[in-house]
Amino acid sequence: MRRKLKKYWREFLIFLSIMGPGIITANVDNDAGGITTYSVAGAHFGYSLIWSFIPIIIALVIIQEMCSRMAVVTGKGLADLIREEFGVKVTFYAMVILIFSNLFNTISEFAGIAASAELFGISKYILVPLCAAAIWWLIVKGTYKSVEKVFLFACLFYVSYIISGFISKPDWGEVARASVKPQFQFDKVYLLMLMGVIGTTIAPWMQFYQQASVVEKNIKLKNYKYSRLDVIVGAFVVNIVAIFIVIVCANTLFRNGIRIETAKDAALALRPLAGNYCFYLFAFGLLNASIFSACILPLSTAYSVCEGMGWEVGVNRRFRQAPQFYTLYTAIIIIGAVVILLPGVKLIPIMLISQATNGILLPFVLIFMLLLVNNKRLMGKYTNSKIYNIFTVITIIAMIGLSLALLLATFIK
Amino acid sequence: MAGLKEQTNEMFVYFSELMAKPVIDKNGELAGELYDIIVKPTAVYPQSSHLIVRKGFPNRKYGVVDWLDIKGIDSKELTLSIEQSKIVFKEKHNNKEELTLRRDILDQQVVDTYNHKVIRVNDIHLLEVDHCLMTAHVDISLKGLIRRLGFEKIVDLIVGIFNRNAPYLKTEHLISWKHIQPLSINPVSMTIKVDLSHKQLNTIPAADLGEIFLDLNPAHQIALFKSLDIQARAKIFMSIEFKAQKSLVEELDPKEAADVLNAVPSDEATDFLEKLPKETVDKYLNLLESKQAKKLSQLLGYSSESAGGLMTAEYIAFPKDTTVESALKQIKERTFKVEPAQLVYIVDENNHLISSTNFRRLIIASPQDPIQTAAFPKTFFVHINSSVKEIAYLMDKYKYFAIPVVDENNVLQGIITVDDVLNQVISIAWRRLKKIKAKSA
């Protein structure tokens, strides 16, 4: 018995040393845009969208697991592999779109910082530049290890949403029923919302980021099972948090028939309904998520682009040794912060462009991944099994279909 | 003069310009397009040996053509001297062990042994000699990247409008093949495809070699490591940190790992082993040469901040009645894993330390005299339990590069060189500095 306990304890310790990439990548998914989507979904449709989080968890695990596996087996990042297997042209265009998509994503993260600044009554002209400087400093002065610790710490703050969920005192039986019983409403707005919820879950940068960080952690094949567990835990945690956001908004805003447009509206509307604590927790969650994602997006972009183009990758290097890396990284942060402070900038078109570029890039990235993960020369015996491939193809088709539909829908609207 | 220059330029061609070029057979019919070139990496500049032709879409097929069957290459196409029915087209070309330009070099990472860096190849510069292509340079420049994207002319034109002498247009960023070490792995032997002996990997300083090594992904690390000779392996092992050492050793089979531990100086080996769990240490000690194992297990017993933990068991010692001539002869013949500071110790038959001398004193002494006559008037030594501070103090006071270590019976155990002490002193100084900083903050 004691020996068994000791063994579990040892395995747990190994898991602690290996976890990170999966959990961090998944959590960044609940960024400013994600929180907005979930708040709106809860406020407008109550619990009736909760069921969609279960297929989302499965899709997230399937896709991110392949990235983790490729990283552990080949020791190369996704951009590296695309360059080596599909040539420079494809890589170049993919990277150009990735830069745009991530740039607009970053802008919307800074918008989230600005929104939470207003919620806390701080001027956004102070908080946004301050955060931008802190983010820049973290990566330039940090090492991979220290940065990962900061990120994992940031993941903890997502608990604020879970707490605010409990404060709102939901009917748990109803929540449980809603999460297992899919309920379709054949209503255009409902379907759009559904697409939005699923569509924000898997973005192209995630695959690049996760694979690169697993490579950076130098995880061994024999420890791969822990890396897979990391992905699974990440997928569950992120969706549980998302469910709680929906619950909070469903339980308060939906019940009182309050319509909202943004996460900021949601927090403000929560104040009279659920009290000050709930308001502050919600606002704090938004701030944390926005800063966290604003750290990762520029980093991930610079990383992937330099990897693919064969330039020196930074983090552990100085500016002179990796000029392209630092230029790109710095430029994205500065543009992201400056755009949001310009007077009269509209957020909606920025979000639309970010969604559109994501939608264009995602099919390519997923198809490349499918080809790479099934390449015997690269993966040896670690290619997908047949059944896994069937699931993967279904997921990929669903994801591509959804993101294209979302793309069309947003532009037709 | 200008004409001649143009002519020589004509003979160079970029691989990107050849890729996807139509391949025409003897009868003027299209056989497919150029997909890849197999080269023989035997000479300094590998020579093209086969052509891989690709045809069909989406069901692609690949055929291998001997380079001798190529009649000519011009700016438009490649012409063969055989009929296309002679080419066997298959789903896959099974030339896994050969080195090919597209699969193994283009877009891949290689080691630049001249600039001591890992680089990614943007294009390959080939020299055409009598229909044969020699791999002359690799291109790692932005210009190469833009050429691959198909924008070279436009970008050249635009840059030219702004600055006709822009460094972008003038400098060529070609690296000679003789400095390029490809990293593609032979799937059968699991080692690097190209013979490493030409590639001057040995000339790279240990620290740089270690850094290059860490830049590679694990599969390439292992393949490269296994392709190197034992000296280079030891050099890499010594220049990387404990964590990297550990993960490297885990990938090797125990015999190979033991070989490396045999080849590195004993203090490096102990530094590594003392951080491992006891069972693992015992496993390696069992595999080591008995002499080295004995030395290491002894060293492992000492604390790393005492003389015993710092010392290396590699030193030069001679019995007191050795003649100067024979001592010098033996010094010349012996090879050392590290150069022990130029000190020579004189011992009696039971290895008790008597005195010491150095190379200079030996050279100027008369050859037939016993070695003892060349000895320093006084020899300082430290005890096996002496602390780093004492050792550092002695070394500084007497300006020694190395100091002998003896046990309680005055038996010579090893020597400590100044760099080992410096390492320790620096880390102590750091700790102290941190404390001071923490206090003042």
Along chain A (413 residues), what's the average pLDDT of each consecutive run of 10 residues? Answer: 77 79 83 84 83 87 92 88 89 90 88 86 87 87 78 83 80 79 73 77 86 84 87 90 86 79 78 78 86 88 88 72 86 91 78 76 88 87 88 86 76 66
Q: DSSP letters of A1-21?
A: -HHHHHHHHHHHHHHHHH-SH
Query: What does the alpha-carbon distance between residue A58 and residue B110 come to, in Å, rounded to a whole number?
Result: 39
Indicate yes or no: CB of B220 within 8 angstroms of CB of A75.
Answer: yes
Angle ∠(A370,A375,A378) on CA atoms, nearest 5: 120
Pairs of residues, one from chain A and one from chain B, whose beta carbons lie less than 8 Å apart: 39
What ranges in A275-322 are assigned the alpha helix state H? 276-309
Handedness of CA A344, A345, A347, A349 (dihedral sign): positive
Q: Which amino acid is at A312?
A: E
CA gyration radius for chain A?
A: 21
Q: Which domains does chain A have, with CATH numbers?
A: 23-412 (1.20.1740.10)
Using DSSP, state whether B284 is helix, strand or coil.
Answer: helix
- pLDDT in the model for residue B9: 42
Residue B58 sits at the chain A interface (C-beta within 8 Å): no
Give contacts of A223 with chain B, Cβ < 8 Å: none
Query: Which chain A residue is nearest to residue B243, measuring alpha carbons?
Result: A218
Record: contact B122-A87, CB cut-off 8 A: no
- Contact: B148, A220; criterion CB under 8 Å: no
- For A379, nearest residue in chain B (alpha carbons): B219
Nearest to B33 by CA among B87, B96, B78, B2: B78
Mutate to test the interface with B, among A18, A70, A85, A88 (most CBs of B within 10 A): A88
- CATH annotation of B2-96: 2.30.30.240
B297 within 8 A of B285, measured Cβ to Cβ: yes
**Minimum-distance CB partner of A87 among B107, B119, B120:** B107
**Chain A residues whose C-beta sits inside 8 Å of any chain B C-beta:** 74-76, 83-84, 87-89, 92, 215, 218, 220, 309-310, 377
CA atoms within 13 A on the CB side of B34: 28
Beta strand pairing call for B343-347 and B317-319: parallel
**Interface touch B145/A220, C-beta < 8 Å:** no
Q: Could you give the C-alpha distances from B88 to A144, B31, B61, B62, B63, in angstroms and in order? A: 51, 11, 9, 8, 5
Please, where in chain B does CATH 2.30.30.240 lie? Answer: 2-96
Classify domain B230-301 by CATH architecture. Orthogonal Bundle (1.10)
Q: What's the rounded Cα separation, in Å, for the pair A267 and A282?
A: 6
What CATH code is assigned to B317-424? 3.10.580.10
Please answer yes or no on whether B247 and A218 come within 8 Å at the CB atom. Answer: yes
Q: State residue B220's pLDDT score.
A: 82
Both tokens assigned to B363: 């050279």
* Partner residue opposite A310 with nearest CB, options B119, B218, B247: B119
- Is-contact A300 A67, C-beta < 8 A? no
pLDDT of residue A61: 92
The answer to whether B80 and B23 are in contact (CB under 8 A) is yes
CA closest to B247 among chain A residues: A220
Rounded Cα gap, residues A84 and A15, in angstroms:
31
10 Å Cβ neighbour count for A371?
Answer: 14
Type and span of the H or E element at A108? helix A78-119
Nearest CA in chain B to A376: B187
Minimal Cα distance from A77: which residue of B?
B217
Using an 8 Å CB-CB cutoff, list chain A residues near B119. Answer: 310
Q: What are phi and psi of B53, to 5 degrees?
A: -100, 140
Torsion of the alpha carbons at B56, B57, B62 and B66, rounded to the nearest 10: 50
Q: Check: CB of residue A243 under 8 Å from CB of residue A49.
A: no
pTM of the model: 0.76
Q: CB-based contact (8 Å) between B122 and chain A?
A: yes
pLDDT in tens, A193-237: 787 787 777 888 889 989 988 888 878 888 888 888 999 999 998
> CA A393 → CA A75, A398, A401, B305, B356, distances in Å?
24, 8, 12, 59, 76
Q: Do the chains contact at A220 and B217, CB–CB below 8 Å? A: no
Q: Which residues pair with B47 in a beta bridge?
A: B40, B134
| B300 alpha carbon, distance to own chain's centre | 29
Q: Which residues of B touch A84 (CB under 8 A)?
A: 107-108
B193 and B186 in contact (C-beta within 8 Å)?
Answer: yes
> If contacts are CB pairs under 8 Å, which of residues 247-266 in chain B contact chain A?
247, 250
Would you tell me which residues 196-225 of chain B have a C-beta closer than 8 angstroms to some C-beta of chain A? 217-220
Looking at residue B2, what is its pLDDT? 37
CA-wise closest residue to A254 among A9, A39, A29: A39
Closest partner CB to A74 (pick from B106, B107, B217)? B217
Q: Could you give the angle at the alpha carbon of A31 between the alpha carbons of A26 and A36, nearest 5°? A: 130
A310, B217: Cβ pair inside 8 Å?
no
Rounded to the nearest angstrom, the minimum Cα separation between A148 and chain B is 18
Structure tokens at B15: 């691989």
- Alpha-carbon distance of A297 to A360, in angstroms, equals 18
Q: How far apart (Å, rounded) are the C-alpha atoms in residues A97 and B74?
A: 37
| Chain A environment of B187 (Cβ under 8 Å) | 377
Query: Looking at the partner chain, which of A84, A220, A377 has a beta carbon nearest the beta carbon of B108?
Result: A84
Burial of residue B213 (number of CB atoms within 10 Å: 0-12, 13-18, 19+): buried
User: What are the residues whose beta carbons fall under 8 Å from the beta carbon of B314, sequence distance 6 or more?
Assistant: B265, B266, B336, B337, B338, B340, B414, B415
At B302 the pLDDT is 65
Nearest alpha carbon to residue B149 among A138, A237, A308: A308
Q: Which residue of B has its CA nearest to A312?
A: B119
By residue count, chain B amounts to: 441
| A75–B187 CB contact, under 8 Å | no
Strand order in the sheet with B353-358: B317-319, B343-347, B353-358
Phi then psi dihedrals of residue A17, to 5 deg: -75, -25
**A377 vs B contacts (CB less than 8 Å):** 187
Please answer yes or no on whether B149 and A87 come within 8 Å at the CB atom: no
Cα separation, A204 vs A105, in Å, equals 11
Q: Where are the alpha helices (DSSP H) in A142-185?
A: 144-156, 159-167, 172-180
Give Cα separations from B199 to B46, B139, B190, B219 (angstroms): 13, 18, 19, 20
Please provide the size of chain A in residues. 413
Inter-residue contact A108 to A347 (CB < 8 Å)? yes
Boundaries of CATH 1.10.220.30 in chain B? 230-301
A309 contacts on B by Cβ (under 8 Å)? 120, 145
With CA atoms as reference, the chain A residue closest to B218 would be A75
In this structure, what is the dihedral angle of CA atoms B42, B48, B50, B56, given to the nearest 10 degrees? 140
B377/A contact by beta carbon, under 8 A? no
Distance CA A22, CA A18 (A): 10
The answer to whether the beta carbons of residues B376 and B355 sit under 8 Å apart is yes
Distance CA A318, CA B153 (A): 33
**Residue spans in chain B of domains classed CATH 3.10.580.10:** 317-424
User: Token pair of A16, please?
Assistant: 């602690």
CB atoms within 10 A of CB B114: 14
Cβ atoms B318, B353 nearer than 8 A: no
Q: What is the per-residue pLDDT across A36-52, written as a single tens digit (0 to 9) for each?
A: 888 888 888 888 888 88
Instruction: Report the chain B residue with the minimal C-alpha distance to residue A84.
Output: B107
Report the chain B residue with the minimal C-alpha distance to residue A306: B120
Give the position of tokens 């037939």. Answer: B368
Of B107, B119, B218, the CB nearest to A83: B107
A74 contacts on B by Cβ (under 8 Å): 217, 219
B74 touches chain A (CB under 8 A): no
Q: What is the pLDDT along chain B (441 residues), one digit of tens a residue?
A: 333 334 444 588 888 888 888 888 888 888 888 888 888 877 778 888 888 888 887 788 888 888 888 888 887 888 888 888 888 888 877 777 788 888 888 888 888 888 888 888 888 988 888 778 888 888 888 888 888 888 888 888 888 788 777 777 776 778 888 888 888 787 777 777 766 655 567 777 777 888 888 888 777 888 888 888 888 888 888 888 888 888 888 888 878 888 888 888 877 888 888 888 877 777 777 777 766 766 776 677 666 667 777 787 778 888 888 888 888 888 888 776 666 667 888 988 888 888 888 888 888 888 888 888 888 888 888 888 788 888 888 888 877 788 888 888 888 888 888 877 877 777 777 777 777 776 665
